[in-house]
Amino acid sequence: MNAPVCDIAILGGGLAGGLIALALARHRPDLDVVLFEEGETLGGNHVWSFFGSDVGKAGRDLIAPMVAAAWPGYTVRFPAYERSLSTSYYAITSERFDTAVRRELRRGSVRTGMRAIANTASQASFADGTRIDAAAVIDARGARLMGHLTGGWQKFLGRRLRLAEPHGLDRPVVMDAAVDQLDGYRFVYCLPFAPDEVFVEDTYYSDSPTLGSATLADRIEDYARRQGWKVAEVLDEEQGVLPVVSGGDFEAFWRATGEDTAHAGTRAGLFHPLTSYSLPEAVRFALALARRDDLSASALAAFSRDHARRHWQRGGFYRSLSAMLFGAALPTERYRVLERFYRLDQRLIERFYAGRSTGADKVRVLAGKPPVPLFKALGVLAGMGEAPRGLSFAGTRR
């Protein structure tokens, strides 16, 4: 059976696809936009977080209805010290995301349970036999075919916990690295959603994408116990594996994912190479696309390719840091890189996470005694040291 023709078909109702649909609904209400999602809800089962400095006013306006919690600052912990920073911090839940996108899209514009199996720049086919024609198709279904890129992995398991008593946190702990360093650089991430409710995520910068869910769940339980928290109930759970990119061939990566079709989100490589952080880029891309006059299939394909290529070119510094993290630092010593980084100026840290580091920032990050062996770091950067392996798998997340 064939669905009606629409102006723009977006494949994938995750962060990137949902934000594009929302931005188009606000800036181009004349268009018939249809969002196709494989699952039953938009956004899957995730918590996305961002710093107040990550996006400008237009971006904040776009995502404001999705925000489930906000805090005036956050804390980091390392074996050598603890620091609180005053940068505002926000969390978006998949439930709020789903509600916000559906509220602003036209009735019938969200179609769930639709698994896309093939597409071109103007057509998509689905597992149930449906085929749709559109003036343009945007593929936002998440990262795949990462074999042309090199690096490591950020893998995680998070649980939303209801506690028997208040946890005592007044702000997020974005990075608690004062934990046993296992399977690479390990840290625990905590978001206090209510006095007796906290999201706890166990995260690793690892050489392997293998995720031992049962083991990580046990470690979350152990972490809660060490904080003096008694878990009354596990409310929700999420997990994922994300690429941490140190190098590769962008043009080959783009060709492998279909160079004549518009891509968005992690499928377009629009994420921070070191943090795997995609929300700022997803917001920028959605707003930039919605402001375009020409939204034809060929124009959108060219726009997304050029946008992604510029992002890749700006990310060279961060890929170099990824190469040093995975190629020059012993897995159990990787925490020292972040421990040193978090002693730097707060504004520098904000620009780093937003992917907008200045030239002076880059000099400052690399200045002084490096937290990895100097000659090994130089060898990795020069391509003579042990290079991070190719990426052959990727998951979804932030």
pLDDT of residue 376: 53
pLDDT of residue 106: 92
Is the Cβ–Cβ distance between 160 and 199 less than 8 Å?
yes
291, amino acid identity: R
pLDDT of residue 327: 82
Q: Which string of DSSP letters, residue by residue, matches 112-181? A: ES--EEEE-SSEEEETTS-EEEEEEEEE-S-----TTEEEEEEEEEEEEEEESS----SS-EEEE--S--
- Angle at CA of residue 38, ends 130 and 124, nearest 5°: 35
| Domain spans of the chain, in order of start | 6-69+92-144+252-314, 149-244, 316-381
- In angstroms, how far is CA 134 from the centroid of its own chain? 28
Give the number of residues written for the chain.
Answer: 398
Other CB atoms within 10 Å distance of the CB of residue 79? 11
CATH code 3.50.50.60 for 6-69+92-144+252-314: yes
Separation between Cα atoms, residue 341 and residue 324, nearest integer Å: 14
Using 70 as the pLDDT threshold, list the residues of the chain that sit under it.
Answer: 1-4, 145, 368-398
Separation between Cα atoms, residue 227 and residue 193, nearest integer Å: 17
Burial of residue 233, with CB atoms counted within 10 A of its CB: 0-12 exposed, 13-18 middle, 19 or more buried: exposed
Separation between Cα atoms, residue 284 and residue 297, nearest integer Å: 20
Would 6-69+92-144+252-314 and 149-244 be classified into the same CATH topology? no
Q: In CATH, which of 2.40.50, 3.30.70, 2.60.40, 1.10.3470 is domain 149-244?
A: 3.30.70
pLDDT of residue 396: 45
pLDDT of residue 179: 97
